[in-house]
Chain A
């Protein structure tokens, strides 16, 4: 089985988000970038397939050279080789188009992406990719088993979960549950040394234009001060929620 894991290069979850150039650009100053958490669950599940069922695992990112340390980290975790499509990730559709080309050319059976990236939260790349290459697609995926060309997946739905059967070629939008938090691997020294020697292929992009454009950014309005209620006066809290906030 040939697996491709899509890796988004995103600000660490603890990052403070700021903008520059008149609120038109994300300020990367002082921001630590990591593998998108949803993608990391998928990568770890891919490593399980590699070790238990025999599979090759490549990782891919669409982005500039600044994303290479994130791809190297994925190699250190255990992926066999990395691909970077050398273009700015302008919108979900443009990224999906770039991925579609690589998936078709590479003959991948299974593509695991994150359900969404934690920066733009679009939840669109995996579905668009599946549609473009006419593969089966399951998102919000919390469990995945593959047997030959058949697959069984569990999808989180609002208020529960759903078990589906499907087949390869398959695109997955993964999240926590594909593996547990405790299964995630911190690269060890040997992994990091080996990652330096693994191939990281830079491929040139196909010609595609974005369909959406980020015009400007805003931050939420600053919050007013909290209204404290005495622990011995919970009647007052009920009163405020009913009469002032009008939520009960």
Chain B
């Protein structure tokens, strides 16, 4: 028996969420008195997972798996889970992992809980805490099946280095046919995505028009942040839908969320509630966002943001 964890990589490089899910799997393994086996596809340096608690890595090397395919990947993970006799399988909350997890759960006859934010409060019965109602609440959920699939919320557990080492074994399960094939991928390689970002800079209608986003982008660049926007901004077509964060858009679970000219509608606040530190810049001191934020500046974004950029540049230069 072991805990199996699926570790994602991109162009051979393990993602930060991969290190986080292994850290998390290690915590469950300690609770259950067992060890962690990771499964990775086309990852380089898979042995580094040992430092986060994996003792074994099953590494699949296959050119035909270069493009992500939910059905194929789910089958590989299910195969690994069976060969390891895993009772718990951990995945992340990336778009790809959320795509494959339900297929994996059916393949393993396993109960699946997504958006989990903590190590299990109990392993018998197996009970985990997950966000529900788009971060307006938590639900303590028991998984009643023999095998369990747990989807960890990004940036909820953190990285825990245990200083161990892992053996890497080649794993070559037979690859299924899939009825879905990738034709093209359109991804900005020079920009950090909202899902992976540690800092997110977000703009609302208070910015008055799409022509004023230059300073939002500049602030994001200084901070190495992703850019996001409120729902009205995306509905008005000022920014692409992919930047819309909130209840019907993307969730944000960054370390720092900076809201500029966003009043803080309940749907928006729900979507960004998992962010650890929230800063609001708004002219209206009565804006609801001030009740949800950690730090606030009452002032005109067109004066405050350029000043913030200037101060951050000086800070970066002094701390470089």
Residue from B179, B249, B291 within 8 A of A226 (CB atoms) = B291
Contact, CB under 8 Å: B196 / A158: yes
Residue in chain B with minimal CB distance to A181: B235
Does A60 belong to the interface (CB within 8 Å)? Answer: no
**How far apart sit A118 and B106, CA to CA, in the bound complex (Å)?**
22
Collect the chain B residues with CB atoms within 8 Å of residue A138's CB: 180
User: Do A248 and B223 contact each other (CB < 8 Å), given the known contacts A137-B180, A237-B279?
Assistant: yes
B99 → chain A, closest Cβ, in Å? 5
* Number of chain B residues whose Cβ lies closer than 8 Å to a Cβ of chain A: 92
Residue in chain A with minimal CB distance to B293: A226
User: Do A128 and B106 contact each other (CB < 8 Å), given the known contacts A121-B114, A241-B256?
Assistant: yes
User: Do A161 and B247 contact each other (CB < 8 Å), given the known contacts A123-B114, A124-B114?
Assistant: no
Does B119 belong to the interface (CB within 8 Å)? Answer: no
Does B175 belong to the interface (CB within 8 Å)? Answer: no
Interface string of B131-171 (1 = CB under 8 A from A): 11111111111111100000000000000000000000000
Does A67 belong to the interface (CB within 8 Å)? Answer: no
User: Do A229 and B142 contact each other (CB < 8 Å), given the known contacts A13-B247, A247-B255?
Assistant: no
B237 → chain A, closest Cβ, in Å? 9
B225 → chain A, closest Cβ, in Å? 10
Contact, CB under 8 Å: B142 / A212: yes
Contact, CB under 8 Å: B140 / A214: yes
Collect the chain A residues with CB atoms within 8 Å of residue B208's CB: none
**How far apart sit A245 and B295, CA to CA, in the bound complex (Å)?**
10
Collect the chain A residues with CB atoms within 8 Å of residue B101's CB: 124, 127
User: Do A176 and B241 contact each other (CB < 8 Å), given the known contacts A13-B267, A122-B114, A211-B112?
Assistant: yes
Collect the chain B residues with CB atoms within 8 Å of residue A131's CB: 102-103, 106-107
B1 → chain A, closest Cβ, in Å? 20
Contact, CB under 8 Å: B180 / A234: no
Contact, CB under 8 Å: A237 / B280: no
A243 → chain B, closest Cβ, in Å? 11
Residue in chain A with minimal CB distance to B193: A159
Interface string of B270-312 (1 = CB under 8 A from A): 1001001101100000000011111111111001100110011
Contact, CB under 8 Å: A217 / B294: no
Contact, CB under 8 Å: B180 / A166: yes
Contact, CB under 8 Å: A157 / B179: no
Does A19 belong to the interface (CB within 8 Å)? Answer: yes
Does A98 belong to the interface (CB within 8 Å)? Answer: no
Collect the chain B residues with CB atoms within 8 Å of residue A182's CB: 235
User: Do A118 and B298 contact each other (CB < 8 Å), given the known contacts A38-B248, A220-B273, A238-B308?
Assistant: no
User: Do A228 and B138 contact each other (CB < 8 Å), given the known contacts A122-B114, A156-B95, A160-B185?
Assistant: no
B274 → chain A, closest Cβ, in Å? 9
Collect the chain A residues with CB atoms within 8 Å of residue B320's CB: none
Residue from A19, A92, A227, A242 within 8 A of B296 (CB atoms) = A227
Collect the chain B residues with CB atoms within 8 Å of residue A128's CB: 102-103, 105-106
Collect the chain A residues with CB atoms within 8 Å of residue B270's CB: 13
Residues of chain A touching chain B, judged by Cβ–Cβ distance below 8 Å, are 11, 13-14, 16-17, 19, 37-38, 91-93, 96, 118-128, 130-132, 136-140, 142, 152, 155-167, 175-177, 181-182, 210-220, 223-224, 226-231, 234-235, 237-238, 240-242, 245, 247-248
Apart from A121-B131, A245-B277, what are 15 other A-B pairs with CB-CB below 8 Å? A19-B137, A118-B133, A122-B113, A123-B102, A136-B180, A158-B95, A160-B193, A166-B179, A167-B179, A176-B248, A176-B249, A213-B144, A218-B137, A234-B307, A241-B277
5 nearest interchain CB pairs?
A127-B102, A159-B193, A160-B187, A231-B299, A211-B111
